[in-house]
Amino acid sequence: MKRLGKKQKILLFPLLLFLILVGLGFQGTASNSQKVVDMAGLLDTEEEEKLQKQLSGIAEKYECDVAVVTVNSCEGKQIQDYTDDYYEANDYGYGARYDGIILLISMKERKFHMATQGWAITAFTDYGMQEIDDRISGLLSDGKYYKAFRKFGDLAEEYIVEAQKGTPFDVDHKYRKRMEIGMKLLISLLAGLAVAGCVVGGMFAQLKSVRVKHTAQEYVRSGSFHVTRQRDIFLYRTVSRIKIEKEQNSSGGGGSITHTTSGGRSSGGHTGSF
């Protein structure tokens, strides 16, 4: 075998350096591609594939991991610790800060935990995760696991999009489902108009003969009353004052409370039951 000449070594050095730098550049940016791990067997094959497609699409689009894991038990650990360890041991999270959120369900304990790391701690505040809890815990209790996980994915995307605008859902920027608000307002408006229309229509029908009079004399029957003198006297004026309270703009109690995992990382989280 021929040895490389000095000239060839010089040419190979930049190539090797480039490969090393590329490798270092991608270190810590890759994420576990398996976004759905159903060890408890709560989903059928089709549901798992659809959920995998949804969550991987969100993660790749926003470079923030979104994953769902189901287990039979936490093997004697607290569910928060188990979830943190699972997230780190299985290489979830994007970038140097391991941005992402994972929802882990434990069937034995009938509990779930959402763990966040990196930028996801900002996107998913304590308030925000409680809102997610409120929307998925009932579905989990009813055994509608696929529907609950889809809802989690939908909410996760909404939260990420809002946080990227610089306005994560929090105590001073509360989450409201826009369709629900719109429908409620529309129904209330239509119902109010219908009731008002019926009431006004009935009153109008009863008062067809009534006409507005411009002076007091017009209300007196002709020939029944004689006025010899009249004058206008100013009696009093009524002034009403209403104090308008200013809205207190306080962000106290918002954000995320974090803890340090066994791996030394900072993590946010929320535990719920079903």
The pair of structure tokens assigned to 125 is 């505040």
The continuous run of DSSP H or E covering 235 comes out as none
Is residue 254 in some structural domain? no
pTM (predicted TM-score): 0.67
Q: Looking at residue 49, what DSSP letter applies? A: H
At residue 196, the pLDDT reads 64
Count CA atoms closer than 13 A to 215's CA, side-chain side: 5
Please count the residues of the chain. 274
The pair of structure tokens assigned to 157 is 């995307």
Q: Which residue has the tokens 């995992």?
A: 261
Is residue 130 in some structural domain? yes
Is residue 194 in some structural domain? no
- d(CA 226, CA 197) in angstroms, rounded, equals 42
Question: Cα separations (Å) of 241 from 166, 236, 238, 244?
Answer: 39, 16, 10, 10
Count the domains in the chain.
1
Is residue 143 in some structural domain? yes
pLDDT in tens, 22-72: 444 444 456 799 999 999 999 999 999 999 999 999 999 999 999 999 999
Is residue 121 in some structural domain? yes
Residue 98 sits in which domain range? 28-177+267-273
Is residue 225 in some structural domain? no
pLDDT in tens, 98-150: 999 999 999 999 999 999 999 999 999 999 999 999 999 999 999 999 999 99
The CATH number of the domain holding residue 100 is 3.10.310.50
What is the CA angle 209-215-219, rounded to 5?
45
Is residue 224 in some structural domain? no
The residues, ordered by sequence, that sit 6+ positions from 70 with a Cβ below 8 Å of its Cβ are: 37, 38, 39, 40, 41, 42, 43, 104, 105, 107, 145
Is residue 197 in some structural domain? no
The b-or-e profile of 186-207 (16+ CB within 10 A means b, else e) is eeeeeeeeeeeeeeeeeeeeee
